[in-house]
Chain A
């Protein structure tokens, strides 16, 4: 079985541009969460989607948005990129919401560099 798939694995963008990151969850998982991991820090929660509805949002500006599709895959969009958006973006899938009952499976991430 395929794990959590993220694409692309790496990309470089210029300040002010827009970026779309993609995630395909494990088959059968209906929840996708996004985390940002800046170099040298722990991951920070951005969004969680379950059954195509937003179930949680972290402390990120409105430049960050996401959506989940009927097949449960997800996109994370970031507008007006800043240098500080450079990070590893991690997608995690789970079969439900609730961290205790439904474990996360993380993908390998997308490394975004903003220049």
Chain B
């Protein structure tokens, strides 16, 4: 069975500060892992994905995430927050070869000027 836990439903950071959004997963087989962003009244946009290649994955808008198998984690980071980063972020897991995603409950990021 697969599942995703996102620690912290709300995270606030100051503009220019480090962004860290936490994601832990559970999967009985090697997982594929994804981070999506959702702006108000919009669909989901893929930020980055891990598919068993490099453990450090770089995505769009300066975001990156590191797959740590020993910690079953896939935390999302960005060195310097921008006001435009304020949104809802979802971590998702998929089994190898699967055609659907299991999403976490999301983390709402607020950026304080």
Provide the residues of chain B in CB contact with A42, threshold 8 Å: 4, 90, 92, 103-106
- Stretch from A13-21, A62-70, A79-87, A106-114 that touches the partner: A106-114
Provide the residues of chain B in CB contact with A43, threshold 8 Å: 44, 90, 101, 103
A106 touching B44 by the CB < 8 A rule?
Answer: yes
Shortest beta-carbon distance from A103 to chain B in Å: 6
Closest to B106 in A: A42
A98 touching B99 by the CB < 8 A rule?
Answer: yes
A55 touching B90 by the CB < 8 A rule?
Answer: no
Provide the residues of chain A in CB contact with B90, threshold 8 Å: 42-43
Number of A-B contacts defined by CB within 8 Å: 65
B99 touching A55 by the CB < 8 A rule?
Answer: yes
In the complex the two chains form, what is the Cα distance from A41 to B104 in whole Å? Answer: 8
A58 beta carbon closer than 8 Å to chain B: yes
Most chain-B CB neighbours within 10 Å: which of A4, A50, A104?
A104
Indicate the size class of the contact surface on chain A: 20 to 34
A100 touching B46 by the CB < 8 A rule?
Answer: no
Within residues 82 to 97 of chain B, which ones have a CB less than 8 A from any CB in chain A? Answer: 90, 92, 94, 96-97
In the complex the two chains form, what is the Cα distance from A97 to B92 in whole Å? Answer: 17
In the complex the two chains form, what is the Cα distance from A33 to B44 in whole Å? Answer: 13
A106 touching B106 by the CB < 8 A rule?
Answer: no
Choose among A4, A44, A48 the residue that contacts B99 (Cβ–Cβ < 8 A): A48
B51 beta carbon closer than 8 Å to chain A: yes
A8 beta carbon closer than 8 Å to chain B: no
Most chain-B CB neighbours within 10 Å: which of A4, A42, A104?
A42
B70 beta carbon closer than 8 Å to chain A: no
Shortest beta-carbon distance from A49 to chain B in Å: 10
B28 beta carbon closer than 8 Å to chain A: no
Provide the residues of chain A in CB contact with B99, threshold 8 Å: 31, 33, 48, 50, 55-56, 97-99
Shortest beta-carbon distance from A46 to chain B in Å: 9
